[in-house]
Amino acid sequence: MNEELKFIDSAGEQLFVIEHQPDNPQPTKAYVFLHPFAEEKLWSHRVYVTTARAFCAQGCLVMRFDFRGHGDSGGEFLNSSLERHNQDIDAVISHVKQRYPEIQSLGLFGLRLGGTLASQAAARRGDVDELVLWDPVLSGDRYMQEILRSNLAAQMAVKGKVEVTRDDLIAQMKAGKPINVEGYYLTHDYFQELSTLNLQATEFPEGLKCCLVQIVKNPKQPFNKQYEQFFERFAEGSQLQKAQEEPFWKEIKTFYDRADNLLDQTLNWLD
Name the site residues for another protein (rule: CB under 8 A).
Answer: 3, 5-7, 14, 16, 18, 38-39, 42, 45-46, 49, 70-72, 77, 154, 157-158, 180, 182-185, 251-255, 257
| DSSP string of 116-166, one letter each residue | HHHHHHHHHHS---EEEEES--SBHHHHHHHHHHHHHHHHHHHHSS--S-H
What is the DSSP annotation of 20-78? EE-SSSS-SEEEEEE--SHHHHHHHHHHHHHHHHHHHHTT-EEEEE--TTSTTSSS-GG
Given the complex with another protein, which of 70 and 209 has the nearer CB atom? 70
Measured from the CB atom, the residue of 19 and 130 that comes closer to another protein is 19
Return the C-alpha torsion angle 224, 230, 235, 238, nearest 10: -30
Q: d(Cα 179, Cα 189) in Å, to the nearest integer?
A: 12
Rg (CA), the chain: 18
Q: 157 vs 201, which CB is nearer to another protein?
A: 157
Compute the least distance from the CB of residue 222 to another protein, in Å.
Answer: 28
Least distance (Å) from another protein to the CB of residue 147? 14
> Nearest approach, Cβ of 53 to another protein (angstroms)?
9
Smallest gap from Cβ 212 to another protein, in A, equals: 27
Nearer to another protein among residue 6 and residue 217 (C-beta):
6
Q: At what angle do helices 140-159 and 166-174 cross, to 10 degrees?
A: 110
Q: Smallest distance from the beta carbon of 187 to another protein, in angstroms?
A: 14
Nearer of residues 69 and 136 to another protein, judged by Cβ: 69
- Give the Cα separation of 167 and 161 in Å (integer): 16
Three-class SS state of 253: coil
* Residue closer to another protein, measured from CB, 102 or 163: 163
State the minimum distance, in angstroms, from the CB of residue 188 to another protein: 17
**Residue type for 123, please?**
A
Task: Report the residue number, 102 or 246, with the smaller CB distance to another protein.
Answer: 246
CB 202 to another protein: min, Å: 30
